[in-house]
Amino acid sequence: MTLAPAFTEDVSKLESDGFGTLSLTWWGVIGFMLIEATGFALLFGAYFFLMSHEQTWAPQPWHPPDLLAGTLFTIVILLSEIPNTLAKKAALRLDLKAERRLMAWVLGFGVVLLVIRGFEFNSLNIFWYDNAYGSVLWAILLMHTTHLATDFGDTLVLWLLIKTPHGEQKRRFVDADENALYWRFVWGSWLPCYLLIYWLPRLFQ
């Protein structure tokens, strides 16, 4: 005895594929960013927990991590926000040609960043099996590297997709917009990592 429908509102006029909070995948990206942010927060918590046990943080003998690679990485990743923001605006304007060019720029920055990250690993001056300090340093760096690499992969796939005829659909611009949002999370989560790896132990010397 399914109830007879009483028609009240016609929703066919509503547009489809909205940006930001009007898109389901935007909420999905926010959900995953929450999960990863909790992961980062817990890893920082572990860092401070291990630190709280030591008389001198960065247990001796301690060779401070070289600042060059890390600082260079931080500068370049912050600069990468410029093409990223422009790409986000282009997506909102549904400007496909600009989007393809700017996303290429973001990918270029991504490659440079991945190369610098390679140097960062051996500028830590410690192995992951030396002590808990070394382990947690490597853990923070590796965790951020997985985020950097996966987002680079996402951007690359999206870039290849918008070069195909699929690029004309509005859906792709919504994806590009959310991809740019996630890139902000990647460099946003790097800043505390940078401080904990490179600067906090130096404060205690």
Partner 1 sequence: MSSRFPNKLAAVALLALLCGCHRDQQQPRGQPLGETVPAAASPDTIFPGGATPAPLDPRAADYEHNAYAIAQGQQLFTWMNCVGCHAHGGGGMGPALMDGKWRYGGRIDQIASSIADGRPNGMPAWRGKLTNQQIWQLAAYVRSLSGQVRKDAVGARADTMSNTPPQTETIRKPVEPADSAQ
Partner 2 sequence: MSSTKALRDGPKLTGPKLQSALDATWSRPRGLIGWLSSVDHKEIGARYIVTALIFLALAGAMALHMRLQLMFPGNRLMTPELYDTSFTMHGTTMMFLFAVPVMQGVQIYLTPLMVGTRNMAFPRLTAFSYFVYLSGGLFLWTCHFLGFGPDNGWFNYVPLSGPQYGIGKHSDVWAQTVSFTEVAALAVAVTLTTTVLKQRAPGMTLARMPLFAWATLVTSLMVIFSMPAVELDSILLLSDRLVGTQFFNPAEHGDPLLWQHMFWFFGHPEVYIIFLPATGFISEIVATFSRRSLFGYPIVVLALVSTGILAFGLWVHHMFATGLPRVGYSFYTAASIAVSIPTGLQIFCWIATIWQGRPRFEVPFLYIIAFFFTFVIGGLSGVIIAAVPLDLQLHDTYFIVAHLHYVLIGGSVFPLLGAITYWYPKLTGRMMSPVLGKISFWMIFLGFQLAFFPMHISGMLGMPRRVYTYPAGMGLELPNMLSTIGAFVVGMSVLLFVLNLIISFGGKEAGDNPWDASSLEWATSSPPPGYNFAHIPAVESRTPLWDNRDTLPVVYGLKAEERELLMTSLISAASETREPSAMPSIWPFVSAAALAVLFVCSVFSPWAVAFGVVPLAVALIAWFWPKKPEPSEEAAIA
Q: Write out the residues near partner 2 by the rule CB under 8 A.
A: 1-18, 21-25, 27-28, 31-32, 34-36, 38-39, 42-43, 45-46, 49-50, 53-54, 59, 128-136, 138-139, 153, 157, 161, 165-166, 168-172, 174-175
Q: Are 99 and 173 in contact (CB under 8 A)?
A: yes
**57-95 burial: b if 16+ Cβ within 10 Å, else e:** bbbeebeebeeebbeebbeebeebbebbebbbebbeeee
The stretch among 28-36, 84-92, 128-136, 142-150 that binds partner 1 (CB under 8 A) is 128-136
Q: Are 54 and 109 in contact (CB under 8 A)?
A: no
The stretch among 16-24, 68-76, 125-133, 191-199 that binds partner 1 (CB under 8 A) is 125-133
Contact between 129 and partner 1 by CB under 8 A: the answer reads yes
**In sequence order, which residues have a C-beta less than 8 Å from that of residue 201 and are 6 or more positions away?**
57, 58, 62, 64, 65, 133
Q: Which is nearer to partner 1, 32 or 127 (CB)?
A: 127
Q: Are 178 and 26 in contact (CB under 8 A)?
A: yes
The stretch among 4-12, 78-86, 116-124, 129-137 that binds partner 1 (CB under 8 A) is 129-137
**Taking CB under 8 A as the rule, which mask of x and - marks residues 70-109 in contact with partner 1?**
----------------------------------------
